[in-house]
C-alpha cells in the first residue's frame, strides 16, 4: 500500500529469521507477501532504529493470560516505555493493536507521558494513543487484513483518527492492487470504518470475540437437544443461520473452540467485569459449555468402547483449526491428555503442526504418524479433531480395513455419515 514499515521484536533470533525470509509461524501466503514487500520492510531489534521517524507506531505484543484470567501486560508496558523514550519531536500516533483490557489506552498514554517527561526535548514531543483492534483469524489473517468486514479505530483525539484514516485509506476504498494469490473477492467494494472513543474500540474487540464464542457454545448446547430428539444439527444450524439477523457462520457443532483468542478474551472480559463488581453469566456459560464438549468426546468413546484402558485411539489433527500450526488451547491436546490419563495409547497426525508439537508437547507420549492412514492403522477408534481438507478426502474404505474396530468420532461434524457408513465405519458425531 506504499507505506514503509519497520518491524521490531526484542527476540533477535526471530528478527534474524525474518531477515532471511523465514516465517516463524505457518500461514498460507505469508512467504509470498514477505518476498513481495521486502523493499518496504525493515526488521530490527533496536528501538532507536525503529521508532524515530515513524508517524504511526503499532504495539502488537502478546498479552498472555495469567491464572486469574486477566492478561499479563508486562510486554505492553515495556513497549510503551521504550516507545516514549524514542519517539521523535512532532506528532506520533501510538496504536494499541494488542488485545488489551478496557482502559489500557489511558494506561499506555500515562506510561508514554512518564517516559517523555524524562527527556530534555519533552516540550517538542506530541503523541496520541489510539485503539485499533484486530479481527484477523489465524490461518486467514492476510485475507482478513486486505478484505476486512470493518475497521475500528478509537481515539480521544481527532487528529489521531485522521492519521489512521489516511493510513487505512487504500483498504477502506479498496484501491490497492490485489495480490495474485489473494484476489479481491467480488463482493468487496469498500470497507466500513467505525471511529469511536478509546474505551468503545477496546470493548468492541472483547465483545466481538465473546459473541463469536457464545455463538459456537450456543450451537453446541442445541446439539445436545438435537441428539436426544433425533434431529440433524447441521440442518438445524443451516436453518437458524439463514435468518439474516443471525447469520450462517460459527454455527458448526463440534468439540468447541480452541486457540489463543476466545478462551483468553472471554476470561479477560469476565475479569474486567469483575473489577466493576459485575457478573457475566452468559459469557461464563459459553466457557463451561466449551469445556464440556471436550468431556463429551471421552464420554462418547467410553460409551462405544466400554473400556478405554489399553485401547489405541487415533487423533486426526492437532492444530486448533486448519491452516495454522498454532497449538495454543488446541482441543487435540486436552482430549489427548484426558485419554492418556485413562490409560489410552494415543496416535496423532497433523499436516503442519507436528514439528511445533514435538517442540512444545514432545513429552506427552503421543505417537506421531506420517499421515491419517498411518494413524488409523490398528486403532480402536479414530477422532477427527481438526477439519484439514486432506482428512476429508481419505480413502475411507482402506482406512476402515486397517483399524482394529472401524469406529469414527467426527468431532467437527464435517464428514459425510452415509459415505463413511458405506466405507464400513460406525460413524458417530457429537450430536
User: Minimal CA–CA distance to 301: which of 352, 249, 271, 342?
Assistant: 342
The whole-angstrom separation of Cα 323 and Cα 26 is 7
Residue 209 near ligand UGA by CB under 6 A: yes
Binding residues for ligand UGA, how many (CB under 6 A)?
A: 22
The residue (of 51 and 430) whose beta carbon lies closer to ligand UGA is: 430
Give alpha helix (H) positions in 230-364. 233-241, 262-275, 281-305, 331-341, 354-361
Given a contact cutoff of 8 angstroms between Cβ atoms, the answer to whether 214 and 167 are in contact is no
The alpha carbon of 148 is separated from its chain's Cα centroid by a whole number of angstroms, namely: 15
Note if 379 is an active site residue.
no
Residue 320 near ligand UGA by CB under 6 A: yes
The residue (of 63 and 82) whose beta carbon lies closer to ligand UGA is: 63
Taking the alpha carbons of 286, 291, 292, 296 in that order, is the dihedral positive or negative?
positive
Residue 101 near ligand UGA by CB under 6 A: no
Residue 259 near ligand UGA by CB under 6 A: yes
Residue 254 near ligand UGA by CB under 6 A: yes
Tell me which DSSP letter residue 72 carries.
P
Residue 385 near ligand UGA by CB under 6 A: no
The residue (of 268 and 423) whose beta carbon lies closer to ligand UGA is: 268
Residue 216 near ligand UGA by CB under 6 A: yes
Binding segment toward ligand UGA, per CB under 6 A, in 4-12, 246-254, 299-307, 359-367: 246-254
Residue 417 near ligand UGA by CB under 6 A: no
* Backbone Cα Rg of the chain: 24
H or E segment and range at residue 313: strand 312-316
Residue 251 near ligand UGA by CB under 6 A: yes
Residue 104 DSSP SS3: helix
Give the contacts of 46 (CB within 8 A, at least 6 positions apart). Answer: 8
Residue 212 near ligand UGA by CB under 6 A: yes
* Residue 31: CB minimum distance to ligand UGA, A: 19
User: Minimal CA–CA distance to 129: which of 75, 204, 79?
Assistant: 79
Q: Give the footprint of ligand UGA on residues 129-168 (CB under 6 A).
A: 134-138
**Grid-cell match 490461518, residue found:** 139
Give the contacts of 271 (CB within 8 A, at least 6 positions apart). Answer: 68, 69, 70, 101
Residue 115 near ligand UGA by CB under 6 A: no
Q: Which of 253, 261, 369, 379 is catalytic?
A: 261
Q: Select from 86, 287, 300, 321 the one that contacts ligand UGA (CB under 6 A).
A: 321
Return the C-alpha cell found at 9.
521484536
Q: Select from 147, 206, 218, 257 the one that contacts ligand UGA (CB under 6 A).
A: 257
Q: Select from 101, 154, 223, 258 the one that contacts ligand UGA (CB under 6 A).
A: 258
The alpha carbon of 139 is separated from its chain's Cα centroid by a whole number of angstroms, namely: 8
The residue (of 57 and 216) whose beta carbon lies closer to ligand UGA is: 216
Residue 411 near ligand UGA by CB under 6 A: no
Q: Select from 256, 263, 351, 372 the one that contacts ligand UGA (CB under 6 A).
A: 256
Q: Which residues bind ligand UGA (CB under 6 A)?
A: 99, 134-138, 209, 212, 216, 250-252, 254, 256-259, 261-262, 265, 320-321
Q: Which residues are catalytic?
A: 261
Amino acid at each position: 500500500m506504499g507505506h514503509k514499515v519497520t518491524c521490531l521484536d526484542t527476540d533477535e533470533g526471530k528478527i534474524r529469521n525474518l531477515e532471511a525470509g523465514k516465517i516463524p509461524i505457518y500461514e498460507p501466503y505469508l512467504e509470498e507477501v514477505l518476498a513481495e514487500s521486502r523493499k518496504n520492510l525493515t526488521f530490527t531489534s533496536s528501538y532507536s532504529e525503529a521508532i524515530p521517524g515513524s508517524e504511526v507506531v503499532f504495539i502488537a505484543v502478546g498479552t498472555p493470560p495469567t491464572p486469574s484470567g486477566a492478561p499479563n501486560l508486562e510486554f505492553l508496558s515495556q513497549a510503551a516505555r521504550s516507545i516514549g523514550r524514542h519517539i521523535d519531536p512532532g506528532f506520533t500516533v501510538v496504536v494499541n493493536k494488542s488485545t488489551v483490557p478496557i482502559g489500557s489506552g489511558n494506561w499506555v498514554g500515562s506510561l508514554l507521558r512518564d517516559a517523555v517527561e524524562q527527556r530534555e526535548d519533552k516540550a517538542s514531543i506530541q503523541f496520541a494513543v489510539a485503539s485499533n483492534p484486530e479481527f484477523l483469524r489465524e490461518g486467514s489473517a492476510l485475507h482478513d487484513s486486505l478484505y476486512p468486514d470493518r475497521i475500528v479505530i478509537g481515539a480521544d483525539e481527532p487528529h489521531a483518527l485522521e492519521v489512521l484514516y489516511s493510513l487505512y485509506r487504500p483498504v477502506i476504498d479498496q484501491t490497492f492492487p490485489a495480490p495474485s494469490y489473494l484476489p479481491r473477492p467480488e463482493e468487496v467494494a469498500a470497507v466500513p470504518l467505525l471511529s469511536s472513543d478509546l474505551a468503545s474500540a477496546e470493548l468492541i474487540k472483547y465483545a466481538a470475540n465473546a459473541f463469536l464464542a457464545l455463538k459456537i457454545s450456543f450451537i453446541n448446547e442445541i446439539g445436545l437437544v438435537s441428539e436426544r430428539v433425533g434431529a440433524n444439527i447441521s440442518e438445524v444450524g443451516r436453518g437458524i443461520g439463514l435468518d439474516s439477523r443471525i447469520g450462517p457462520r460459527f454455527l458448526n457443532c463440534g468439540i468447541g473452540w480452541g486457540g489463543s483468542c476466545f478462551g483468553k478474551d472471554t476470561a479477560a472480559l469476565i475479569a474486567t467485569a469483575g473489577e466493576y463488581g459485575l457478573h457475566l453469566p452468559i459469557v461464563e456459560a459459553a466457557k463451561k459449555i466449551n469445556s464440556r464438549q471436550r468431556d463429551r468426546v471421552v464420554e462418547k468413546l467410553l460409551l462405544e468402547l466400554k473400556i478405554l484402558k489399553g485401547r489405541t485411539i487415533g487423533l486426526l489433527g492437532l492444530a486448533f483449526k486448519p491452516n495454522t500450526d498454532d497449538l495454543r488451547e488446541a482441543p487435540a491436546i486436552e482430549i489427548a491428555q484426558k485419554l492418556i490419563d485413562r490409560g489410552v495409547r494415543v496416535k496423532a497426525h497433523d499436516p503442519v503442526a507436528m514439528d511445533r508439537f514435538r517442540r512444545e508437547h514432545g513429552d506427552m507420549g503421543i505417537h506421531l504418524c506420517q499421515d491419517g492412514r498411518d494413524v488409523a492403522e490398528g486403532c480402536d477408534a479414530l477422532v477427527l479433531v481438526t477439519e484439514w481438507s486432506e482428512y476429508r478426502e481419505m480413502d475411507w474404505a482402506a482406512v476402515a480395513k486397517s483399524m482394529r474396530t472401524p469406529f469414527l468420532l467426527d468431532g467437527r461434524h464435517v464428514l459425510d455419515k452415509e459415505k463413511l457408513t458405506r466405507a464400513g465405519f460406525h460413524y458417530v458425531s457429537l450430536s
